[in-house]
Structure 1
Amino acid sequence: MDSLLLQYNDILHAHPVITQVLTVGTVALAGDVISQTFIQNKPSFDFRQAIIYYIVGLFFTGTLTVLWLMFVEWLVVTDGVAGAAIKTALGLVFFTPPFFLCFLVVHGFLSGHSWEAIKENIRTKYFVILKSRYAFYPVAQFVNFEFVPVLYRAIYLSVVALLWNMYLSWKTNQVSPCPPVEPSEKTELEPVG
């Protein structure tokens, strides 16, 4: 086990961004697997749901989380309790609200939901998820910024996020009032401008 951790640490130091992103994606997948297996009580394992969660975790959650942590570290040069409090507050105000709005849109599209179903999902679940996030994450974020070395912050959040991802997977995959549409019923969004 020690050699595995040492190898991971070596890879993390050699390729910090990609290693952190892959870790976040893998933990998101683990959260969905645990959620499906022990919380959602599904009659059978939904591999499509797990793959969607991994893709979202890898290309959306992992990437944005790592970039946000790099940005906030660059932006706030204050150390100690004050710096940790500022970084935590910035995340709660400027990162979390748009992140979860976009998360619901991305997850909805990848799950095959229509735009109308996605909007309904946002209407019914966004503030519930946001409220839960605000109850769960401020202390974890503060601890992260105050005590965890910069290179390990995304990984720490991934470990904390395992519980959060189980909740988020359960919440976003609850039966929606609008079921996924058939491929022939989907409409494409046109770019504005």
Structure 2
Amino acid sequence: MGLGDMISQQLVERRGLREHHTGRTLTMVSLGCGFVGPVVGGWYRVLDRLIPGTTKVDALKKMLLDQGGFAPCFLGCFLPLVGTLNGLSAQDNWAKLQRDYPDALITNYYLWPTVQLANFYLVPLHYRGDPASTAL
């Protein structure tokens, strides 16, 4: 997640090295190591127990459960956690979640179903966190 933030700041926001927000990058690294990695890794293990198998149909079932059940809940936890780490008050964080959640979830559905379908079909469980982390 730290690499993703660096790419965002340099290529999307075009901050340049002097204006790079190192604290933001470190926050994203902390989030990745302390929240996203453990939660997503645990979810993948649970999902593999719920839907064992590696066929195309199994991958489709996993993707549907992941995107229909896990993604909305994960996003609903991730966004307020980022807000808290960025110093938002509880009231401001709630307002930001209400404002940003619908668009974030819709945007999620443009990318993640395809990524996860490939992830669940092509990538062994013990490597599965890597493509998802890279796409973040």
- In structure 2, relative to structure 1, the CA distance for the partners of 1:42 and 1:114 (3 Å cut) is farther
Residue aligning to 1:7: none
In structure 1, which of residues 91, 99, 104 is the aligned counterpart of residue 66 of structure 2?
91
Q: TM-score, normalised by structure 2?
A: 0.92
1:61 paired with 2:19, answer no
5+ residue gaps in structure 1?
1-27, 166-193
Partner of 1:137: 112
Q: Which residue of 2 aligns with 1:36?
A: 9
Which position in structure 2 is the counterpart of 1:48? 23
Q: CA deviation at 1:142?
A: 0.8
Q: What is the root-mean-square deviation of aligned Cα atoms in Å?
A: 1.3
Q: Which residue of 2 aligns with 1:22?
A: none
* 1:115 aligned partner: 90
User: CA separation in 2, counterparts of 1:110 and 1:157?
Assistant: 22
Q: 2:51 maps to what in 1?
A: 76
State the identity as a percent: 27
| CA displacement 1:86-145 (0-9 Å, x = unmatched) | 100110111100111111111111111111211121122111111111110111111111
- Structure 1 residue 78: deviation in Å? 3.9
The residue number in structure 1 matching 2:77 is: 102
Q: Distance in 1 between matches of 2:67 and 2:82?
A: 21
TM-score w.r.t. the length of structure 1 is 0.66
Q: Determine the structure 2 residue equivalent to 1:153.
A: 128
Displaced runs of 4+ in structure 1, greater than 2 A? none
2:29 partner SS = helix
Structure 2 CA distance, aligned partners of 1:79 and 1:54?
31
**Which structure: larger Rg?**
1
CA distance in 2, matches of 1:150, 1:123: 34
